[in-house]
Amino acid sequence: MDGMVKSSWWLMVILLMGSMAYASDDPPRRIVAYYSSWSIYARQYFVTDIPADKITHINYAFANLSETGECLLGDEWADTQFPYPGETEGDGLLGNFHQLQILKDQNPHLQTLISIGGWTWSDRFSDVALTEESRQRFAASCVAFMKQYGFDGLDIDWEYPAGGGEPGNVERPQDPANFKLLMDELRRQLDVQGQADGRHYLLTIATGAGSRHIENIDWQAVHPALDWINVMAYDYSGGWSQQTGFNAPLYTEAGSESGGSADAAMQGYLKAGITADKLVLGVPFYGRGWREVADVNNGLHQPYGAVSAGGGFYNYRDLVGVLLDNMPRYWNNEAKVPWLYMPETGLMISYDDPESLTHKANYVSDNGFGGIMIWELASDDPDSTLLKAIHAALYP
């Protein structure tokens, strides 16, 4: 064996061992973190800021769907053209995609998936899934996209095959059945590519936590095609609610308007026939806020006058400092989540912090679930406080 071949062989062994260090855990302890293309703009959070040693998988959000039903870049500038320090336009592939490749080279255990769709770009999924021809075309384009930009798999964020996504999305009664066929075709083409490359390519999805998303899909038929399922167990309360409540309760507590919780969703998917190790609990690095909330029950489960600034959305990094330092913090021992309330101003904010995320990570470990999914990295504070809490609980 000559030196170059020998070096390449050992490099392959090292990379495989790095991946297996996480994949061999029983149960899996995945930490799946979304990184959004727009993080480089207002938030100034770059791929080079990601603490990759505390993550097993990065889902890059998002790729879009073309009018002809193919996978395409969501933000060409951020994805492939934005020059990081030390790069110039003549260097070839630039942007976040190039930096993700560098990050993987530096962290052999790390894998990346391209997430396709999301809330805003799910309008064409029903068309894509409609026929055998459209499914094949979409799958072929996504596999080619994955290969071209060096990803390790695909994450399909169809919101939602059971309906209830953004108003104006195309929806059909046959979407749940076609969703299964689409996953099968993606799995088939990924496996063909994997056989050619001598490796396994990942296929995952993000799915809703409400009963309609659980009960209207034949999950026993769908899940064999998937490596795991990210359950978006958040947005239980917000500006659409009649009263204040918890954004992401671990357990359902008395007085809850939504009646939902992360535990209820995870147990629902278990009853639908999905094995625990394939279920990844989604957690938010953001909170929801309301204004003009009466000083009753410290603002919890109360009517409100308006949502707070920014549509009632608070990144954790925005809470750190003034709000966390000056607003009284309360804890609900049923739901295992905190909230903030200032009676002088009537501001109430539901959010997750290191204590609540530690409870959620312990819940995942205690029940044999497949890990934690995070939306999203740029919402954490500069010290990665929330991510560190999750990692410490899953990897004590």
Catalytic residues: 159
Distances (CA, A) of 9 to 16, 24, 42, 51: 11, 22, 43, 28
d(CA 263, CA 233): 9
Long-range CB pairs of 174-180 (<8 Å, 24+ gap) are 174/130, 175/125, 175/126, 175/129, 176/216, 176/217, 176/218, 177/218, 178/126, 178/129, 178/130, 178/135, 179/129, 179/217, 179/222, 180/217, 180/218, 180/221, 180/222, 180/225
d(CA 234, CA 360): 12
The 3-state DSSP class for residue 330 equals strand
Structure tokens at 50: 């990601």
**Structure-token match 């095609």, residue found:** 225
Structure tokens at 368: 């044999």
**Which residues neighbour 235 within 8 Å (Cβ) at sequence distance 6 or greater?**
247, 248, 284, 288
SS3 content of the chain, % helix, strand, coil (to 5): 40, 20, 40
- Picking from 138, 224, 128, the residue whose alpha carbon sits closest to that of residue 169 is 128
Q: What is the DSSP string of 22-69?
A: HHT-SS--EEEEEEEGGGGSTT---GGG--GGG-SEEEEEEEEE-TTS
- How large is the C-alpha radius of gyration of the chain? 21
Do 154 and 203 contact (CB within 8 A), yes or no? yes
d(CA 268, CA 198): 36
d(CA 175, CA 172): 5
Do 308 and 289 contact (CB within 8 A), yes or no? yes
d(CA 299, CA 246): 11
Decide: residue 256, CB within 10 A, 0-12 exposed, 13-18 middle, 19+ buried: buried
